[in-house]
Amino acid sequence: MLLYPNAKINIGLNITEKLKSGYHNIESCFCPISLFDIIEIKESNSSELIETGIPFKCKEEDNLILKVLNNLPQSKNYKIHLHKNIPIGSGLGGGSSDSAILLKYLNAKNESKLSKKNLYSIANRIGSDCPFFIDNKIKYVTGTGNILDKINIDMNNKYIIIYCPNEKISTAEAYNTIKPEKGNYNLKEVLENENLENWDKYVKNDFEPFAMKKIKGLKKIKNNFIDRGAKFVSLSGSGSSIFGIFDRIESTEYFTGMKNIYFTEMIN
């Protein structure tokens, strides 16, 4: 069986509060996009995880795929082959998507299926972005990433270009630079009521100033996107990727063949 976990981008990311637990409350809009990892899963005599594609180092206790297997006991063993296409440490949610899509698949295979509520609960234990990928639809996201509400945004016929620099940003390091505070605008209202080209008047990613200082050339890429006709440009997640939303495919052709550039669209 082949599974295709997809990436996401954040349109706006406000860090509104730090909790006693150490987690943070956020306000954001998560949007699924057409950039995919690949998971091949087969029943086997013994459990095995193989990882190929973009290389990454991860402690066993931090591996989200293994967390799924540990949180959802199985009566069968599986050989799992994960091929990474979604850049690591880029704010695109690849690891969260891998684990959530696998969780949904294994739950569907179980004789005693978990309710959607329990599935969300397990996803939330695995990672704060994981609940989003259970439904995998555009959402207005609050809480620690666990409160998901509908949001009406028309992203049809829009083209998204992502630049992922080689240098990555530690999520912990990024959060240490943030002073949480509630924004002076309602993200959901802005995205639903303002035209795309007006979003940048209001919509911000709190991590972007740090990312621009941390990664050389990121500001230049942002300006390049704007100069080539992007209607909205922003950092995704805590970085390090930056994306531009274009309404004309001709505007994106300039970036064809450039290093670290990904061409995607929104998926529903």
Catalytic residues: 8, 129
Beta bridge partners of 163: 242, 261
Per the listing, tokens 């995998």 go with 136
* Contact indicator for 224, 124 with CB cutoff of 8 Å: no
* Contact indicator for 215, 167 with CB cutoff of 8 Å: yes
Strands (E), the chain: 2-3, 6-18, 24-36, 38-44, 48-53, 77-84, 139-142, 147-150, 159-163, 232-235, 242-246, 261-264
* Contact indicator for 168, 235 with CB cutoff of 8 Å: no
